[in-house]
Amino acid sequence: MKYSQSKEEFLRANKTIPGGVNSPVRAFKSVNIDPVFIEKAKGTKITDIDGNEYTDFVASWGPLILGHANDTILKAINEAAAKGTSYGAPTKIETEMAELICEMMPSIEKVRMVNSGTEATMSAVRLARGFTKRECIVKFIGNYHGHGDYFLIKAGSGALTFGLPDSPGVTEGNAKDTLLADYNDLKSVEKLFAERGDEIAAIIVEPVAGNMGVIPPKKGFLEGLRKITKKHGALLIFDEVITGFRLAKGGAQEYFGVTPDLTTIGKIIGGGLPVGAYGGKKEIMDNLAPEGAVYQAGTLSGNPLAMAAGVAMLKELKNTEGIYEELERRAAKLEAGILKNIAISGTKAVINRVGSMMTMFFTNEKSITSFDQAMTCNTEQYAEYFKLSLEAGIYIAPSQFEAMFVSAAHTDEDIDKIIEANYKALI
């Protein structure tokens, strides 16, 4: 494939945009090549400005569970746009969105819309602190909750990829209120609560870790967090920005049967537009202004275009019979195909998968259940694999520590294609 136009555009972008990109992982740095610039996408196909076409398994990092440019969502956005793009005043569709979220994810009794996952987690933690009148939070090493200051302590995703677990600009004051625990290790959590239980406002957790590669919760881990928080009067926040509406209609909390106090969501609920939200029990959510004293606001929050896209997305997910079973079937087929390739080629690798999210880890370990194990991965081997995949017309995340997403738009043929490309890349 030729990438000359992308190379040229990247040089141009670098002159006026830091690193040439508006979000770090897009720069392909951890796979040591220049990024491809995208021209357009439809369904599962994404086309770059050199005219190369790829089958996409990034799905804009999670949101596009129905594939690119879904007709129903596009229609909703177009109809909304014709009526104006923002009013800064209440609209009916915001309530419709809230009702859909509350219905699909019953632990959410009230919900506030924001514009990104980052905003959702920052606001949820402020609310948890305001509600409990405590200052510390517990976060897991390698979990990613957006780029809010007090989350950029041993964070996952881009922060992990670039080896910047502690970003300059995050103050010591912020860092001292973030207590770190090990994912899938209840003992590390119990220890923090034994020492400082009465200072801890909340535990925030990705119920399935997705930003150090996919790592499922061990049996009893989420239940344990529920128990510990209850015992100590702290809140449990599920960061379902990836898992919400992906693992099940009701997200990871439905999938695993554990109910948090607050939930943060994003990605899928925007239908491809910039949206986040946080919600939970009424008595907690009613502490938000203007009802309560905890302040949080947004000029474009509940934006009519974003709400139109989100409502269309959630309705499709809610009303399409068997959609999650079908996602599971296709993702399982993909996993089985790759596992076979791993065995045939003698590659040292393991796969973690929960529903339609999965990661292939290049590692000598037998399984990856912790951050430390994830760190054993051979990222150079991943970079090589990424390049070969791209050449074969498969677009996957340009980092070992991300998820691959199967969408409802992926056909069996798409799945076969990636299994074949994976075979060539591993052999």
> Residues with catalytic annotation?
144, 239, 267
Of residues 170-209, those binding ligand PLP (CB under 6 A): 206
| 349-354 and 357-362 beta bridge pairing | antiparallel
Q: What would the x/- binding string for ligand PLP be over residues 264 to 283, using CB under 6 A?
A: --x---------x-------
Q: Which residue is nearest to ligand PLP (CB)?
A: 117
Classify residue 43 by its DSSP letter. Answer: B
- Which residue of 56, 177, 185, 239 would you call a contact of ligand PLP, by CB under 6 A? 239
Q: Residue from 58, 181, 241, 358 that binds ligand PLP (CB under 6 A)?
A: 241
Per the CB < 8 A criterion, the answer to whether 57 and 418 are in contact is: yes
Query: Is the backbone of residue 422 left (phi > 0), alpha (psi -120 to 50) or beta?
Result: alpha
Nearer to ligand PLP, 25 or 192 (CB): 25
Per rule CB under 6 A, count of chain residues that contact ligand PLP: 15
* Closer residue to ligand PLP (CB): 266 or 272: 266
* Segment holding 112, helix H or strand E: strand 110-114
Helices 304-319 & 92-104 angle (0-180, nearest 10): 30
User: The tokens of 317 are what?
Assistant: 């997910």
Q: Is 116 in the site for ligand PLP (CB under 6 A)?
A: yes
Tokens for 254, please give them.
Answer: 């439905």
Per-residue DSSP letters for 346-383? T--EEEEEETTEEEEEE-SSS---SHHHHTT--HHHHH
Shortest distance, CB of residue 275 to ligand PLP, whole angstroms? 8
Element (H, E) at 265: strand 262-265
CB of 121 or CB of 301, closer to ligand PLP: 121
Nearest distance from C-beta of residue 300 to ligand PLP, angstroms: 14
Q: Are 161 and 377 in contact (CB under 8 A)?
A: no
Name the one range near ligand PLP by CB under 6 A: 2-10, 27-35, 238-246, 411-419.
238-246
Query: x/- binding map, residues 206-225, to ligand PLP, per CB under 6 A?
Result: x---xx--------------
Q: CB under 6 A: which stretch of 101-109, 226-234, 235-243, 391-399 binds ligand PLP?
A: 235-243
Q: Residue 345 CB, nearest distance to ligand PLP (Å)?
A: 30
For position 142 contacting ligand PLP by CB under 6 A, the verdict is no
The least distance separating ligand PLP from the CB of residue 58, rounded to whole angstroms, comes to 12
Position 246 contacts ligand PLP (CB under 6 A):
no
Among 118, 132, 263, 370, binds ligand PLP (CB under 6 A): 118
Q: Please identify, using beta-carbon distances, which residue of 177 and 206 lies nearer to ligand PLP.
A: 206
Dihedral class, residue 69 (left if φ above 0, else alpha if ψ from -120 to 50, else beta): left
- 240 neighbors 263 (Cβ within 8 angstroms): yes
CB of 263 to ligand PLP, least distance (A): 11
Sign of the CA dihedral with 72 first, then 76, 77, and 79 last: positive
> x/- binding map, residues 67-106, to ligand PLP, per CB under 6 A?
----------------------------------------
> Bridge-partner residues for 413, per DSSP?
none
State the burial class of residue 381 (Cβ atoms within 10 Å of its Cβ: 0-12, 13-18, 19+).
middle
Instruction: Compute the least distance from the CB of residue 116 to ligand PLP, in Å.
Output: 4
Interaction of residue 145 with ligand PLP, rule CB under 6 A: yes
Looking at residue 48, the DSSP 8-state letter turns out to be E
Residues 6+ apart with CB under 8 A from 294: 126, 127, 130, 131, 287, 288
Residue 151 CB, shortest distance to ligand PLP, in Å, is 8
The residue ranges that bind ligand PLP (CB under 6 A) are 116-118, 121, 144-146, 206, 210-211, 239, 241-242, 266, 276
